[in-house]
Structure 1
Amino acid sequence: MKTYPVRTFEDVRERLLARQEIALLDVREEDPHAQSHPLFAANFSLTRLELDVHARLPRRDVPIILFDAGEGLAVRAADKLDALGYTNIALLAGGLDGWIRAGGEVFRDVNVPSKAFGEFVEAKRHTPSLSAETLDALQKNGDDLVVLDARRFDEYQTMNIPGSVSVPGAELVLRARALAPDPATRIVVNCAGRTRSIIGAQSLVNAGLPNKVAALRNGTIGWTLAGQTLEHGSKRRFEDDTGRAPRDLQASRQAAFALAQRAGVRRSSLDEAARWARDTSRTTYRFDVRTPTEYEAAHAPGFQSAPGGQLVQETEMFAPVRGARVVLFDDDGVRANMTASWLAQMNVEAYVVDEAGPDALTESGPWRPERPAPAPVPTIAPKELSALLDDPANGVVLLDVAPSANYVKAHIVGAHWILRSRITPAHDDLRDLPDAKRYVVTCGTSALAPYAAAEIAALTNKPVHVLEGGNAAWVRAGLQTEGGEARLASPRIDRYRRPYEGVGNAREAMQAYLDWEYGLVAQLERDGTHGFFVV
């Protein structure tokens, strides 16, 4: 068994303060990660390691420090990374408990660097806000205002402030002048909680819009706590050409460029960014911050889709290497500069690509990350599997390793959900299932299934197949699915459920979430490694 170096709390802190590259990775599932972790620890679950590793850790000799809370996941992750060619792997001394014993600050929830930064911005800039009660009264009074929802469109559709329009984060400065052309129109920006409301409203203030701008205090949570009703399934969103009239676009460009300059954003080119991506001494991330639709229509080679608002909201998930270079692209001169201005204030070395014309956008379609090839495993077609499942005497046990939320929404009839990280001799998840003559493993498209299948075969010494094309192929074949939480072999710890998700959440949980956000600035002060500033 290979052994790995150990790095201490002091080692991590020293690298963070020196702005040296470090990937501090919590390899537990999302829910335990959300309960307690260091500020700049990125959630990098063992379950999805092969799916995410090359996009999130593009440099093979980047300094990696892994930890868990005593479950043994960090060593397993280290072995996998070592086998994939990563050469600078270490374990955090004592894991999470060691961090705490050494005096390290720990944080709750997910995307904490971004959420803490939002609170930091509000504390320093006193971002204007108004309460749910005030907004409700203004709407009922017929005041001239627009409510812009800064979340992703799918989040907006789940629940939204009545009458609001979906304008995700980085789109705000590009679109707001056209959505509120009269300077007398009040603009209110909201999200589910606080962060994207604050950053969105402050973006418009920083960009010099003449309108009166405010964040909706506490977002849809605050609206719910005030006893007001949300809409569901709304489809209002900006038009693609919104904000691109010459006068609006020029004003937005000038403001965004000036903000980027003030924040210390640097300039680059597609050729330079490509050279940096080949540099083995530094980590470089390349992100296209336009909408996913624009990205899929045409994009520059090597650039990953990362809509600007989400990149600011989930920075450590897109770019888990702290101290890396981040290069941003757009085609309007607004969204990349605005996004980069915020990343720079988060102490990220940010660059914007200048003067890249349409002829440089030579690729199309969704982002296709490089992934290591799994070990060869036999496959089975949907119709063949269906025939085998029809006869219990065949002894087929079907295992679904998709995210639990996807399984609950819809899965193949009779499938059992199991968490890949718990397919080990130390857990009973697999042993507690019906006895099998053979296993078949599936997930959404069978991207993850082959990696899990090899582990199941090694653990059980029984035949294991992968469903060709996964659940998507099963559905295309017209075969039956069902929903619900039956046959969960593992606990649903792969997903942290936020208190603002869904309908009918306890008021106490919502208020506790807000109280937690209010306390983040004090936690930043105690931690002392963030390097945040505001312009």
Structure 2
Amino acid sequence: MSDTSTLDRPPLAPASPAAPQVPELPVAAVRQALLDRTEIALLDLREEDPYAQEHPLWAANLPLSRLELDAWDRIPRRDTLVVLFGTHDGHDLVPLAAARLAALGYTRVHALAGGLEGWKTAGGEVFRDVNVPSKSFGEWVEHHRHTPSLPAEEVQALIDGRADVVVVDARRFDEYRTMSIPGATSVPGAELVLRIAELAPDPKTRVIVNCAGRTRSIIGTQSLVNAGIPNPVAALRNGTIGWLLAGQTLDHGAERRAPSVVQAHTAATARQRAQAVADRAGVRRTTLADLPALSPADRTVYRLDVRTPEEYEAGHLPGFASAPGGQLVQETDHHAPVRGARIVLDDSDGVRAPMTASWLAQMGWEVYLLEGVDAAGRSTAGAWKKPQPDTPAVRTVNPVALAGWLEVARQDPAAVQVLDFTNSANHVMGHVPGAWFAIRAQVADALRAVPAARRYVATCGSSLLARFAAQDLREALDALGSDAEVLVLEGGNAAWAAAGLPLEAGDARLATPRTDRYRRPYEGTDAPRSAMQAYLDWEFGLVAQLGRDGTHHFQVI
């Protein structure tokens, strides 16, 4: 071992604890739990792309690759009923995942009997895409409330005719900056009722709400309708997809945001309206003093702050994670994968939490508003720190030393190979020169694609995932009879860049396919128009799928 690596840590521990026989839970029992609203986490262990191809409505995606990093945060109660399924190339991922969850302290881990095929054979409905509970709910809302909308051509005519109209984009700001309707202002979904009066103080001003596709346009528009704002409101039908399919041009890099200051009288009106909507939806109230009573040992409680990320980082309640309200409604399966759990929401204005809670309640969640919080209580600053287990002990190499090794590898490729376990989008944007992209759960496949070496270095964005991946890499090398060294790049790709070392872009070296992320048809302007239309057609069919599935518990006010 070279003296440029860290030697004061013990050797790598085995990556895979012995996998006991995993008890199975029949499909009928899983379905009954969903119907009864008892707590259950139905988890698809595959990467995001295969997950997006087909899965049950309430199956949350928790890839085997990230199990140790995300489990404690997303499934906080260790005796939650957890049901697993997922295969890769015919290999069952459940036994290894169950063993890892057991090592993390989970005590009620089961396999879905028959896996995904068993679900389908039993008559279970399967859904395509991601965030399906939220997207299907949006279609349910429009179907039952006939949410007003206008086609792209009519909205373009209003803009061209300089009509009294305000276009607001209900997505995250980064999505808005990527592509937006010309002249639109970024107002993420949970901010709409709070801030719309500042943008459209004249009740005669028409308000158009858009997103990339349909869901956030529908929910944003219906939020304003439910809150009773006096302005005429409509969704941009089919969002930026509809805009492109109509042959119209989008803006890129826009920076328009809603006013950050809300006047006292408009804030008071918005608060009154939001609280009334929450009451109609059956949202419950609680206080900090009563939270322990809501959190007995046998109940999962997600505590979420629905304000903007900037407000959250400036100061939030201890134990509350950041979940901006519009995205929480859009990505409920990510923030709360335990169906049947309780959700408690906090804000600082009495508008964003009630509006968000009203939608969660209509989606069948038991949701509470936190009331009576003193602003001084939001004293925890910074980003949310996810609960995670200790990282494995690993040998490491610093960026400068690795750069030296890579110089040697120019003449002797067997000297070192770098495997990058970051997500594929980040890998494409920039990685250690010569590094191979690899998915952690497919490390054995990766080794078949990467030239053999005497030394392997695992990296990722921060080195956190790489420390777990290094264990899997060691096991895979042992299985091949290789005694090659395994190390982790200290600080990962971020440390490499911070050291002023060059980055390489592109996907020329893929040791595994980029299945870690599903390419959404609405993400950019370069998606095939046929894929965009197919996505809209899929959304139009979701109401019928909900009827066949029968486990949704959706109701609208």
Q: Report TM bin, short chain.
A: over 0.9
| Alignment counterpart, residue 247 of structure 2, candidates 224, 227, 248 | 227
Code of the aligned partner of 1:444: G
Displacement after TM superposition at 1:37 (Å): 0.3
Listed as ranges, the gaps of 5+ residues in structure 1 are none
The answer (yes or no) to whether the contact 1:60–1:87 under 8 Å persists in 2 is: yes
Code of the aligned partner of 1:397: Q
> 1:230-379 alignment to 2 at 5 Å?
230-241=250-261, 244-273=262-291, 276-277=294-295, 279-379=296-396
| Alignment counterpart, residue 419 of structure 1, candidates 418, 424, 439 | 439
Displacement after TM superposition at 1:269 (Å): 1.6
Q: Does 1:62 align with 2:80?
A: yes
Code of the aligned partner of 1:431: R
User: Which stretch has the larger CA shift, 266-275 or 33-42?
Assistant: 266-275
The residue aligned with 1:386 is 403
| Alignment counterpart, residue 423 of structure 2, candidates 403, 413, 425 | 403
| Alignment counterpart, residue 510 of structure 2, candidates 488, 509, 512 | 488
The residue aligned with 2:179 is 159
The answer (yes or no) to whether the contact 2:199–2:259 under 8 Å persists in 1 is: no
| Alignment counterpart, residue 514 of structure 1, candidates 513, 517, 536 | 536
RMSD over aligned Cα atoms: 1.1
Distance in 2, Cα, partners of 1:146 & 1:50:
45
Displacement after TM superposition at 1:271 (Å): 3.5
Distance in 1, Cα, partners of 2:91 & 2:220:
39
Distance in 2, Cα, partners of 1:192 & 1:146:
17
Code of the aligned partner of 2:118: G
Distance in 1, Cα, partners of 2:492 & 2:325:
31
The answer (yes or no) to whether the contact 2:52–2:128 under 8 Å persists in 1 is: yes
Displacement after TM superposition at 1:328 (Å): 0.3
TM-score (norm 2): 0.94
Distance in 2, Cα, partners of 1:71 & 1:496:
21
The answer (yes or no) to whether the contact 1:395–1:435 under 8 Å persists in 2 is: no
The residue aligned with 2:489 is 467
The residue aligned with 2:138 is 118
Distance in 2, Cα, partners of 1:164 & 1:430:
48
Distance in 1, Cα, partners of 2:285 & 2:294:
13
Q: Equivalent residue of 1:42, what SS?
A: strand
- Tell me the alpha carbon deviations over residues 346-367 of structure 1, each in whole angstroms, 9 at most, x when there is no partner: 0001001001011101210011
Q: Does 1:82 align with 2:93?
A: no
Displacement after TM superposition at 1:375 (Å): 1.9
Code of the aligned partner of 1:473: A
Q: Does 1:148 align with 2:165?
A: no
Distance in 1, Cα, partners of 2:292 & 2:310:
23
Q: Equivalent residue of 2:458, what SS?
A: strand
The answer (yes or no) to whether the contact 1:160–1:230 under 8 Å persists in 2 is: yes
Q: Does 1:523 align with 2:531?
A: no
Identity across the alignment (%): 59
Distance in 1, Cα, partners of 2:234 & 2:130:
25
The residue aligned with 1:14 is 32
- Tell me the alpha carbon deviations over residues 251-277 of structure 1, each in whole angstroms, 9 at most, x when there is no partner: 111111111111111111223335645
Distance in 1, Cα, partners of 2:136 & 2:324:
20
Displacement after TM superposition at 1:505 (Å): 2.0
| Alignment counterpart, residue 207 of structure 1, candidates 207, 227, 252 | 227
The residue aligned with 2:13 is none
Q: Equivalent residue of 1:412, what SS?
A: coil
The answer (yes or no) to whether the contact 1:273–1:286 under 8 Å persists in 2 is: no
Distance in 2, Cα, partners of 1:464 & 1:268:
51
- Tell me the alpha carbon deviations over residues 314-356 of structure 1, each in whole angstroms, 9 at most, x when there is no partner: 0011000000000000000000000000000000010010010
Distance in 1, Cα, partners of 2:460 & 2:142:
42
Q: What stretches of structure 1 move > 6 A for 4+ residues in a row?
A: none
Distance in 1, Cα, partners of 2:199 & 2:372:
27
Aligned residues: 529
Code of the aligned partner of 1:236: R
Code of the aligned partner of 2:408: D
Q: Equivalent residue of 1:11, what SS?
A: helix
Distance in 1, Cα, partners of 2:332 & 2:289:
24
The answer (yes or no) to whether the contact 1:7–1:90 under 8 Å persists in 2 is: yes
Distance in 2, Cα, partners of 1:304 & 1:109:
25
Listed as ranges, the gaps of 5+ residues in structure 2 are 1-18, 479-483
The residue aligned with 2:6 is none
The residue aligned with 1:430 is 447
Q: Equivalent residue of 1:448, what SS?
A: helix
Q: Equivalent residue of 2:388, what SS?
A: coil
The residue aligned with 1:39 is 57
Distance in 2, Cα, partners of 1:481 & 1:194:
37
The answer (yes or no) to whether the contact 1:151–1:196 under 8 Å persists in 2 is: yes
Distance in 2, Cα, partners of 1:276 & 1:124:
32
Code of the aligned partner of 1:214: A
Q: Does 1:170 align with 2:190?
A: yes
Distance in 1, Cα, partners of 2:197 & 2:517:
38
Distance in 2, Cα, partners of 1:270 & 1:408:
45
- Tell me the alpha carbon deviations over residues 371-403 of structure 1, each in whole angstroms, 9 at most, x when there is no partner: 111220011111111111110247111110000
The answer (yes or no) to whether the contact 2:195–2:259 under 8 Å persists in 1 is: no
Q: Equivalent residue of 1:271, what SS?
A: coil
The residue aligned with 2:14 is none
| Alignment counterpart, residue 499 of structure 1, candidates 510, 521, 524 | 521
Distance in 1, Cα, partners of 2:260 & 2:396:
43
Code of the aligned partner of 1:453: A
Code of the aligned partner of 1:437: R
Distance in 1, Cα, partners of 2:95 & 2:191:
42
Code of the aligned partner of 2:273: A
Distance in 2, Cα, partners of 1:63 & 1:74:
15
Distance in 2, Cα, partners of 1:280 & 1:382:
45
Code of the aligned partner of 1:326: I
TM-score (norm 1): 0.97
The answer (yes or no) to whether the contact 2:35–2:551 under 8 Å persists in 1 is: yes
Q: Does 1:456 align with 2:476?
A: no
